[in-house]
Amino acid sequence: MVPVLRGFEAAVEGQLDPATGLAEDLFQAPLLEGLEAYAGALDALGGSLGGYLLSNVKKIRQSKADWNLSSYRAFLQSELPVHGATGYKCYVDESAWMGNLWMSWTLEFFVELFAQLHSGLETRQSVDVAYKQTLYHHHNFFQRSAFSAAVRSLPPRAKILESLCGGDKVDTSDIVEDIGDFVVVGRAAAKFCMQLNEELDLRLQQERQRKR
């Protein structure tokens, strides 16, 4: 869990508004590294859940956005010309913009899942609460069925904490504290990415109007 926390902390470093807890931007490189570390941690829990994040991070990694830009906002904005292939009507599927959209929705779920676990709820309850608040609203019937089947493989809360500690049966108080810290920065990152998607969608509409 430590590499995940460090990646997200580096991504939001100096970017959080102390009054609102919201991020004004993110650093691109540590964000992607943090997401990849998070996917690995999720896979270790069972059900290959990390793939839901990693498939979208790969779209971002393989994009034609400008990798010289450290700002995640500027990095994604640089991909605008790619979406000319759709006449700026929608996102190209294999793109950073599409990857960011689904990554942010998925990240929001997993952050809220860990928030519920941090509060003391058991795994099944945590999944139900987090899913109904987040991904449920973006999944169709078939996606809901597949995702529900995947998360059923998650172990009880105590086993999750033990796994995040490296599998050692030790005092889990430190990992619980790390989870609490992660929830703060994870929520900020997810909210920023979702807000950024709204900005990108507006840019798409503006470019479509401009090309008429």
* 3-state helix/strand/coil string of 66-103: CCCCCEHHHHHHCCHHHHHHHCCCCCCCCCHHHHHHHH
Q: Taking the CB of residue 191, how many other CB atoms lie within 10 A of it?
A: 18
What are the CA-CA distances from residue 170 to residues 7, 77, 165 (Å)? Answer: 24, 45, 8
Q: Which of 142, 147, 185, 138 is nearest to 26 (CA)?
A: 185
Instruction: Tell me the pLDDT tens digit for each residue of 69-88.
Output: 999 999 999 999 999 999 99
Give the integer Cα–Cα distance in Å for 100 and 41.
20
What is the number of residues in the chain? 212
What average pLDDT score do residues 165-177 get? 73
pLDDT greater than 60 at residue 61: yes
In this predicted model, what pLDDT tens digit does every residue of 126-144 receive, in sequence order? 999 999 999 888 888 888 8
Q: Does domain 2-211 have CATH number 1.10.40.30?
A: no
Residue with tokens 């999720």: 42
pTM equals 0.90
